[in-house]
Amino acid sequence: MKKLMLGNEAVARGLYEAGCRFVSSYPGTPSTEITEAAAEYDEIYAEWAPNEKVAAESAFGACVEGVRSFTAMKHVGLNVATDLVFTASYTGVNAGFVIAVADDQGMHSSQNEQDSRHYAAAAKLPMLEPSDSEECLNYVKLAYKLSEEYDTPVLMRLSTRISHSQSLVELGGRTEIPTKPYVKNPAKYVMSPANAIRRHPEVEARTLRLLELANSERVNKIIKGSTKIGVIASGIAYDYAREALGDNASYLKLGLLFPLPTDLIREFAASVDKLYVIEELDPVIETHVR
């Protein structure tokens, strides 16, 4: 069955279908409706926390205890949560842990226009970005698989237009995920300097494995059209490009924003006459391509 859903509603539906059981967030447009919609599902415990740091810590605690968990915030809220986010990159997870951050290009409801992609690179955490409501749902389910496969929290970047736009979504059923047993492991979860030093090589090795994923077409897709123009884009910028250029261009649609691919970009660039990077806010993709 298909249903017309806002991007934020589709994220909440993805939480339901992925077997998420714990959500803790702090409200901030354009992310607020995710947790409001998640609270409508009886299978998900959803709460508002006093701030983003507490929300992220609560969700991380739930994932360590063995249930899939989630936290959502807007871009400036990620500033508040970074103490947990950066450390959780080193510890990894037990059950899947997903962090949604909604950027506000154009500052419709925000005091600044910061680009959350920088946090993914700084924390060395994988970041996904959907381009419509159906991808919002599917990327949530993918994020949990990646979180548990690569032992990492996963960031999911939204934007005002993706969060607050509607598109058709194919609805599925819920997959119940058994609670994973908690095993006391201070070397993994207590980031004293002696333990953090040993965990750092694990983070670097994980990034290299994620780069292999980025260079595959499991998340990043080449969409063939005219080879006179090639466009590299993600999220809402990809939608803008397709609306403007249609089949008069070929596209490298990036779903994984960190780490960015290298081999796939070179392959795509070699296949077109002229290459454009289309993105909002900072030249993150452009700088990587150069």
Question: pTM of whole model > 0.85?
Answer: yes
User: Residue 104: its pLDDT value, please?
Assistant: 95
Band (pLDDT 50/70/90 cuts) for residue 283 is very high
What's the whole-number average pLDDT of the chain?
Answer: 97
User: pLDDT at position 167, please?
Assistant: 97
For residue range 23-53, list pLDDT tens digits in order: 999 999 999 999 999 999 999 999 999 999 9
Q: How many CA atoms lie within 13 A of 170 on its CB side?
A: 2
- Alpha carbon distance 63, 38 (integer Å): 17
Going from the C-alpha of 198 to that of each of 54, 107, 195, the distances in angstroms are: 27, 41, 5
pLDDT at 129: 98
Query: Which is it for strands 221-223 and 250-253: parallel, antiparallel or unpaired?
Result: antiparallel
pLDDT score recorded for residue 193: 96
pLDDT of residue 224: 97
For the four alpha carbons of 240, 243, 245 and 251, in that order, the dihedral sign comes to positive
